[in-house]
């Protein structure tokens, strides 16, 4: 199993098309299947992650660009994000070397864990190479299922969710849509 690389996330979409994907994900959390938590420093990859998840039937909420959020974070920000985390059936943290500087990721992850428990929460590590780096062996990353990929018997790329706690895997589509326990 390997991490998803920056190059694998890239799509052939134009910047305008990526902005449209991003805009649709930012409008509201209502009806979305995934809350995507990420570092603002990983903003360039968010539209590509939304595209990847859409290939498996997911609709994604991201807080960047959500017009309901105040410009300066406040109690209103926290309430909107709590509601979004609670209402999206799945929660994914886009994890990169930039994630450790984020003050919001641990808070959002704690909310998701408290509201949902572990099975509906996953991390999506991304890196320059598909090999696990030292940054990915720290702290909470080993506590949650992770979205990875492997080659199938026909050499197609299979995305799956691997849970290191019980050594189980689900296809990404199954994890996104089925009642995983």
pLDDT tens digits for range 148-177: 887 778 777 788 999 988 889 999 999 999
Question: Looking at the predicted structure, is the pLDDT value of residue 16 above 90?
Answer: no
| CB-based contact 158:171 (threshold 8 Å) | yes
**High-pLDDT (> 70) share of the chain, %:** 77
- How big is the CA angle at 41 (ends 53 and 85), to the nearest 5 degrees? 50
From the centroid of its chain, how far is CA 49?
Answer: 7
Q: What pTM was estimated for this model as a whole?
A: 0.86
| CB-based contact 35:91 (threshold 8 Å) | yes
Distance CA 87, CA 104 (A): 18
112/16: higher pLDDT = 112
Question: What confidence score (pLDDT) does residue 62 get?
Answer: 92
Task: Indicate the SS3 state at residue 65.
Answer: coil
Domains and CATH numbers, the chain: 4-177 (3.40.50.10140)
Question: What confidence score (pLDDT) does residue 130 get?
Answer: 63
Question: What confidence score (pLDDT) does residue 117 get?
Answer: 93
Distance CA 82, CA 161 (A): 24
Rounded mean pLDDT of the chain? 82
pLDDT tens digits for range 83-122: 999 999 999 999 888 888 888 999 999 999 999 999 999 9
Q: Residues for the chain: how many in total? A: 181
* H-assigned helices in 55-163: 75-87, 104-116
């Amino acid at each position: 199993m390997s991490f998803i690389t920056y190059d694998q996330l890239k799509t052939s979409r134009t910047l305008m098309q990526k902005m449209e994907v991003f805009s649709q994900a930012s409008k509201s959390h209502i009806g979305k299947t995934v809350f995507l938590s990420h570092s603002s420093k990983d903003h360039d990859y968010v539209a590509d992650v939304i595209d990847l998840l859409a290939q498996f039937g997911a609709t994604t909420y991201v807080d960047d660009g959500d017009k309901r959020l105040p410009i300066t974070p406040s109690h209103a920000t926290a309430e909107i994000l709590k509601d979004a985390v609670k209402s999206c059936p799945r929660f994914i943290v886009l994890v990169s070397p930039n994630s450790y500087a984020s003050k919001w990721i641990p808070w959002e992850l704690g909310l998701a864990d408290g509201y949902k428990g572990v099975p509906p929460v996953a991390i999506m590590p991304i890196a320059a190479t598909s090999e696990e780096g030292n940054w990915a062996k720290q702290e909470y990353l080993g506590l949650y299922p992770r979205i990875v990929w492997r080659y199938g018997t026909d050499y197609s790329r299979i995305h799956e969710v691997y849970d290191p706690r019980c050594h189980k895997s689900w296809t990404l589509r199954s994890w996104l849509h089925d009642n995983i326990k």
